[in-house]
Amino acid sequence: MSLPPLTAVGIDNYRSIRRMHLPVGALNVFVGRNGTGKTNLYRALSLLREAAFGRITRAIAEEGGVESVLWAGVRRKGQPVRLQLSARLGDMTYTIAVGLPKLGSDAALPLEPLVKSERLTIAAGRRDVVMMERAGPTATLRAADGSRATYANELLGSETALFAFRDGARFPELDIVRRALADWRFHHGFRTDPDAALRRPALALTTPTLAADGSDLAAVFATLSEVRVDTHLLDEAVADAFPGARLEIGVDGATARFAMRFPDLPRAFSAHELSDGTLNYLALMGALLAYRLPAFVALNEPEASLHPDLLEPLARVVARACEHTQVWIVTHSQVFADALAREAGAVPRRILKDAGETRIEGLTKTGAFAED
């Protein structure tokens, strides 16, 4: 079964984002200067993915705790402020809210991030049908046969109902949403220092999708070469970026490796010898041209360390990837944003900061762009 596409996202009270609801398409490009909060869009979506694995509260704790991730602006007195995230996947909408423990009533450690509520609805005509409703430790779910089951005091505040209830036959909608979010991939740069895993051979295992840190890049390339036996898109992307060069992929016993052969040099250069920019570009090729692309790929400032001449070729690779998956790009390069507009038909959205609040130019309060 194919996973439903992300059609809209909502972010409330996350860092510099007070309230933002926006539509999502095949290619979503956001451009802005440093300090405007554009990376917070990327991070908020990555927290939604963590909910599918039951790790959202841990991820928030690792960011510094609830107080560090909550809206930093003026708050209404006497009202609890909660981080709320939502994703519309096809005709289903999943919403989760996280806040601080209530003194004397929540079973939690002091200042621990807690899941306060979750909700999954499915559009049905003029109204939404609630498939899952969670308040505190109690959750009510609607089964495939239409019956409802209530699980009282079954959940800890550190857990998500989305992850805890994994009976796909009984609760199919919950299973679909969980698998859709879990399939998302986020790439926030790739380590290219001398000790980076990207520079070392990978285990020779069939690897259809690139890991977040790119550590299995050689295995991704080998999967295209040895399993699909088709590297023409990868070869075209390499030749487009480095005229006359070619990528050499090999499997040596239990390891996979790759090297670049340039036309004006007498030998191929292994991964540990390549420049940071070349290696970063190849990692992006692995993320966007792999054997099986995830349902959603998010790239945060992918132009980092790339020569300006590589931005047009990268935009063309993004255009190919958008034929098979959804791509979300956050960049501070207007040159790259313009290249994406030309090569992939993107409509770059400008990120602004107004009185400490991150906004998207042209986005209305109803969650649509003015020109739409």
pLDDT, tens digit (0-9, with 9 covering 90-100), for 198-213: 999 999 999 999 999 9
C-alpha–C-alpha distance, residues 149 and 134, integer Å: 12
User: Per-residue pLDDT for 5 more than 60?
Assistant: yes
Domain shared by 147 and 272, yes or no: no
- With respect to residue 198, please indicate whether it lies within any of the assigned structural domains: yes
209 neighbors 230 (Cβ within 8 angstroms): no
User: Do residues 214 and 291 share a domain?
Assistant: yes
Q: Is residue 140 one of the residues assigned to a domain?
A: yes
Is 309's pLDDT higher than 90?
A: yes
**Cβ contact 221:247 at 8 Å:** yes
The pLDDT of 317-342, averaged and rounded, is 96
CB 127 within 8 A of CB 93: no
Q: Give per-residue pLDDT as tens, 38-60.
A: 999 999 999 999 999 999 999 99
Residue 78 has pLDDT above 80, yes or no: no
Q: Give how far Cα 172 sits from Cα of 100, 141, 159, 295, Å.
A: 31, 11, 20, 18
Q: Which residue has the tokens 């079964």?
A: 1
Total domains in the fold of the chain:
2
- Among 123, 157, 183, which residue terminates a domain? 183
Quote the pLDDT of residue 198: 93
The pTM score is 0.93
| Residue 305 near residue 274 (C-beta atoms within 8 A) | no
Same domain, 282 and 177: no
Boundary residue ending a domain (183, 204, 237): 183
Q: Does some domain include residue 139?
A: yes
Identify the CA nearest to 359 among candidates 15, 17, 21, 7. 17
Find the angle CA(27)-CA(29)-CA(35) to the nearest 5 degrees.
155
Query: Are 63 and 121 members of one domain?
Result: yes
Decide which of 131, 166, 183 is a domain's last residue.
183
CB 96 within 8 A of CB 85: yes
Residue 74 has pLDDT above 80, yes or no: no
Residues 161 and 191 in one domain: no
Contact, 184 vs 5, CB < 8 A? no
pLDDT for res 372: 67
pLDDT band at 234; cut points 50, 70, 90? very high
Q: Are residues 106 and 234 in the same domain?
A: no
Domain that holds residue 82: 46-183
Question: What average pLDDT does the segment 154-168 reach?
Answer: 94
Q: Is residue 119 part of a domain?
A: yes
Q: How far is CA 81 from CA 140, 359, 365, in A?
A: 24, 20, 20
- 74 and 132 co-located in one domain: yes
Calculate helix-pair angle for 334-344, 311-321, nearest 10 degrees.
50
pLDDT at 300: 95
User: What is the amino acid identity at position 108?
Assistant: A
Same domain, 107 and 145: yes
Does residue 218 sit within a domain?
Answer: yes
- 223 and 128 housed in the same domain: no
**Which pLDDT tens digit goes with each residue over 81-124?**
799 999 999 999 999 999 887 765 565 566 789 999 999 999 98
Same domain, 203 and 345: yes
Element of type H or E holding 43: helix 38-52
Block residue for tokens 């052969």? 261
Same domain, 336 and 248: yes
Tell me: pLDDT of 176 over 80: yes
157 and 223 co-located in one domain: no
